[in-house]
Amino acid sequence: MNKSSEWIALEKKYYVPVVRRQPVVIVRGKGSWVWDADGKEYLDLIGGWAVNSLGHCHPVITQAITEQATTLVQTSNQFYTVPQILLAQLLVEHSCLDRVFFGNSAAEANEGALKLARKYGKQKRGGAYEVITAHHSFHGRTLTTLAATGQPHYQEPFTPLPPGFAHVSYNDVDAIMNATSDKTVAVMLEPIQGEGGVNVPADDYLQRVRAWCDKQGLLLILDEVQTGMGRLGSLFGYQEYGVEPDVMTLAKGLGCGVPIGAFLSKEFCTVLGPGDHGSTFGGNPLVTAAAYAGSKYLIDNNIPAYVKQMEKHLFARLHELKARFSFITEVRGKGLLAAIEFDSDIAGKVLTHANASGVLLNAVKPSALRFMPPLTITAEEIDEGIGRLEKVLKEI
């Protein structure tokens, strides 16, 4: 087999250079650990960008994929398939939403939610179409979800973007009120902004937004792509904040590693009918069998409660680091979604050293590191990861 350096040279030759990759070629994973093409072991505190909820190659996921791969992989949505129906039932029965549609990614889930909002606006709100989203939000990279995303640096190369979005400050209810007009149909928010820097709003923010949406007849769409499926210590992030969305999107942890996205909606706003939306692969038997097995395991074993225990442990260790290193200015997050902020742009340098020390981290901003390990990570593994990071912080 090629060495890491040889694989990296091939990638540089053949792949579209859109991702700033770390120079690590991962070939194998087990639980919270992965190995590179040279046999080096790493503790994975990134979890496939908050995707590998049950760690790498969890037996439940491996078995579900294997069994389904030898049974039925793809049929098109022209037919009913059992794993899709089982997953839909599981998600609806454990959430406040009534219906679900499966796509292949988060961006597609959000795209579907936005289409639903557009049609709802046409049918029920006199043609209103505008959706209020937040600065520093991240909703995907298709043209419409990019337009929804409140980060101009991602948008600029691709303007003009589809119209219909108003961006306001996150954690600012007045800004939403001021941006609301006759054209507004929905407010779309992440319960905690993940990609934008792990930004945690005030405890009552979502409740106040919910109250405003109720008063104005707006849909509240929660993008739970990163916060859903146990990440914050409840099955869904909205449960942490005591609100119910009208529409919710999921992806990432839903598939425990297989590519799947979903939008869920309450019955009153499920205005989509035959022909309005669809997908060739969306919700196919292979991915829904894996997502069903993973989600059922997560629920049956109350992994969200375990996340709450590990949250205490992770945050205690991160606060210890902050006490030890004066250049760490903030520790923030919830559940197993956390960030530490530095007083300067050293996150890239920390990553380089962390790779060498065998711990995988994510620089969510030039000045901040994000932690989103498997939800099954143990206290000992957290200690090991923080220990390795501490060594790196001492070095630099």
Our CB check for ligand PLP shows the closer of 110 and 284 to be 110
Strands 184-189 and 219-223 turn out to be parallel
Which alpha helices (DSSP H) does 236-302 contain, by range? 237-241, 285-300
Report whether 54 contacts 375 (CB < 8 A): yes
Pick one of 53, 105, 133, 367: the residue that binds ligand PLP (CB under 6 A).
105
Binding of ligand PLP by 282 (CB under 6 A): no
Binding of ligand PLP by 226 (CB under 6 A): yes
Binding of ligand PLP by 131 (CB under 6 A): no
The catalytic residue among 101, 138, 236, 342 is: 138
* Helix/strand/coil for 319: helix
Q: What whole-number distance in Å separates Cα of residue 336 and Cα of residue 372?
A: 6
Our CB check for ligand PLP shows the closer of 359 and 372 to be 372
Q: What whole-number distance in Å separates Cα of residue 213 and Cα of residue 266?
A: 15
Binding of ligand PLP by 388 (CB under 6 A): no
Say which residues have a Cβ less than 8 Å from residue 9's Cβ, sequence separation at least 6. Answer: none
Provide the 8-state DSSP code for 71. Answer: T
Binding of ligand PLP by 138 (CB under 6 A): yes
Binding of ligand PLP by 195 (CB under 6 A): yes
Report whether 167 contacts 134 (CB < 8 A): yes
Q: Can 165 be counted among the known catalytic residues?
A: no
Pick one of 55, 140, 237, 253: the residue that binds ligand PLP (CB under 6 A).
140
Kindly state the smallest distance separating residue 265's Cβ from ligand PLP, in Å: 17
Q: Can 308 be counted among the known catalytic residues?
A: no
- Enumerate residues 239-258 that contact ligand PLP by CB under 6 A: 251
Q: What whole-number distance in Å separates Cα of residue 41 and Cα of residue 336?
A: 22
Residue 7's nearest CA partner among 25, 21, 20 is: 25
Q: Can 246 be counted among the known catalytic residues?
A: no
Q: What whole-number distance in Å separates Cα of residue 185 and Cα of residue 145?
A: 16
Distance of CA 132 to the CA centre of its chain: 20
Compute the Cα dihedral for 309, 314, 315, 316 and give only its sign: positive
Number of residue whose CB is nearest ligand PLP:
106
Pick one of 194, 257, 294, 304: the residue that binds ligand PLP (CB under 6 A).
194
Kindly state the smallest distance separating residue 106's Cβ from ligand PLP, in Å: 3
Kindly state the smallest distance separating residue 273's Cβ from ligand PLP, in Å: 25
Kindly state the smallest distance separating residue 145's Cβ from ligand PLP, in Å: 7
Give the residues lining the site for ligand PLP (CB under 6 A): 105-107, 110, 138-140, 190, 194-195, 223, 225-226, 251
Q: Which residues are catalytic?
A: 138, 223, 252
